[in-house]
Amino acid sequence: MYCGDYQIQGTIFPAPNFNPVMDAQMLGGALQGIGCEKDMVIDILTQRCNAQRLMIAEAYRDMYGRDLIMDLKENLSHHFKDVMVGLMYPPASYDAHELWHAMKGAEMEENCLIDILASRSNGEIFQMKEAYLMQYNNDLQQDIYSETSGHFRETLMNLAQGTREEGYADPAMAAQDAMVLWEACQQKTGEHKNMMQMILCNKSYQQLWMVFQEFQNISGQDIVDAINECYDGYFQELLVAIVLCVRDKPSYFAYRLYNAIHEYGFHNKTVIRILIARSEIDLMNIRRRYKERYGKSLFHDIKHFASGHYETALLAICAGDAEDY
């Protein structure tokens, strides 16, 4: 990931002295005994990395002839269940699962499509498409095509190709691209919208850094402000998400978490999805950005809005340093 000059760090790491058979045994006791021992389930699953959880699921199947995900679904409920089950998916499968439910659930969740497709690398998108096909026997791009519309659809389709240039930067081209973006903000025709999304979806992050700088020079305006002024709806939200991810992914996710917690009265799905998906990538950085930008720690805000085992599980994924509490 292109991230400037700081180290990218998650909050969940491989557990040392890991023993999947012992973990599977403890989970079996916790899930199949009288009264489910939820704290034990949290302690085991949030303190192991994803690869280790998959090994636990395998040991669990060997030991009990049962599917751990099914047992979690049967014994847990509500949002707490969503967290613990979500932890059991490999990252690409989890993305696929979230996209499927965002498009095929009771109501269309455009923000989930935006969060995932605006932020994933080519490799992550490729694996996500494979997982989607395996899990749902559907083509991700075809589903996006049939469930969305307009320039929002065009942009999502483009991102879902996963063909962004990588590591390539050309200063001369940056000024040209910036001009195109500036014109697209003035003219707003279908063709201009198309040119804008082509640049934002296909140029490398390094290139786009330069393009945004050039855009500022040409127009005297920040690209995000320009997009917000010129466009509206989910198309505008998606374009802004791409720009924010290019600039700093942890800041983007901190902003999305803050909105999900404060603007939408704790939008559980968004909070769960971001915490799980970023837990081994950059959740530590997201926490730092959250604190810098909003004054309160993510830990504090989750504690304030969630409760019970659900709160305990989210806080365990969020982890936290003493000064965050």
Tens digits of per-residue pLDDT, 45-91? 999 999 999 999 999 999 999 999 999 999 998 999 999 999 999 99
Considering its fold, how many domains does the chain have in total? 4
| Same domain? 186 vs 139 | no
As a whole number of angstroms, the distance between CA 25 and CA 221 comes to 59
User: Which region among 111-120, 244-253, 256-265, 268-277 has the lowest average model confidence (pLDDT)?
Assistant: 256-265
Per the confidence metrics, is the pTM higher than 0.85? Answer: yes
Question: What distance lies between CA 153 and its chain's CA centroid?
Answer: 19
User: For residue 325, is pLDDT > 60?
Assistant: no
* CATH code of the domain in which 225 resides: 1.10.220.10
Q: Is residue 2 part of a domain?
A: no
| Same domain? 150 vs 100 | yes
| Same domain? 175 vs 239 | yes
**Which has more pLDDT, 239 or 192?**
239
Q: Is residue 1 part of a domain?
A: no
| Same domain? 257 vs 303 | yes
Q: Is residue 40 part of a domain?
A: yes
Tens digits of per-residue pLDDT, 247-262? 999 999 999 999 999 8
| Same domain? 263 vs 239 | no
**Domain boundary at 87, 108, 126, which?**
87
Burial class (CB in 10 A: 0-12, 13-18, 19+), 211: buried
Within 8 A by CB and 6+ apart from 142, the residues are none
Residues in the chain: 325
- Provide the domain limits for residue 52: 20-87
**Domain boundary at 41, 68, 87, which?**
87
pLDDT at 245: 96
Q: Is residue 83 part of a domain?
A: yes
| Same domain? 25 vs 52 | yes
